[in-house]
A = this chain, B = another copy of it.
């Protein structure tokens, strides 16, 4: 079972204060890119793996999805999602992405935002998602970038010449990483970029797009903290078609 850190009071309290929690999709700077990778969703069936407060589920319905299933491991997140949603075509349920099962060919779109890096068995997950899509259906997901996840002691360092740098090590030592983010001891699983693409291709997907989030000038002007995201990739965004 994946670690359920979102239900820990300290983590949940911190998470609930993030811009993306307070402001939904508009608070996530990578959303415009992720959105551009989505297929037409009017009349389509959508599942969101790691739906959190349900921001994307509600957005999908507002844009015409016929049915939306939001799955999350955290009961606290689902409770908040249900509170924020008044729509019978959106259903929330508890699910662990490590042991996920989905109906065969049940969806035109499988979406996931920043959840897959908590999953240890990505091969199983991708195979499950592939079966759950109709032929021609699409998986669109974001995940922490392997360059962000790899280091044994992730963080910015100032070089001798004053440059802000992100020192990498252990890129090819895949597997468990324990970091402190909002709460101590958050467990994630590092995979190289080639492993992610190899597993997707191996599951039968065709790679449609691969993007790395980079803030634009307007976003940096509005939020100068984003400037450091120019220095190293923080999120990997993938669209893959069955």
Residues in A lying within 8 Å of B, measured CB to CB: 147, 150-153, 157, 159, 161, 163-173, 192-194, 197-198, 201, 206-212, 214, 229-233
Contact A211 B194 (CB under 8 A): yes
Q: A212 is contacted by which of B157, B193, B229 (Cβ under 8 Å)?
A: B193
Contacts A167-B167, A168-B168, A231-B171 given; indicate if A201 touches B209 (C-beta within 8 A). Answer: yes
Q: A194 is contacted by which of B153, B201, B210 (Cβ under 8 Å)?
A: B210
Q: In this complex, what residue of B is CB-closest to A158?
A: B167
Contact B153 A161 (CB under 8 A): yes
Distance, CA A130 to CA B147, complexed state (A): 30
Contact B164 A166 (CB under 8 A): no
Contact A210 B233 (CB under 8 A): no
Q: In this complex, what residue of B is CB-closest to A157?
A: B167
Contacts A159-B153, A192-B212, A210-B193 given; indicate if A168 touches B169 (C-beta within 8 A). Answer: no
Could you say which of A153, A163, A193, A209 has the most chain B C-beta atoms within 10 Å of its C-beta? Answer: A193
Contact B152 A168 (CB under 8 A): no
Distance, CA A212 to CA B147, complexed state (A): 13
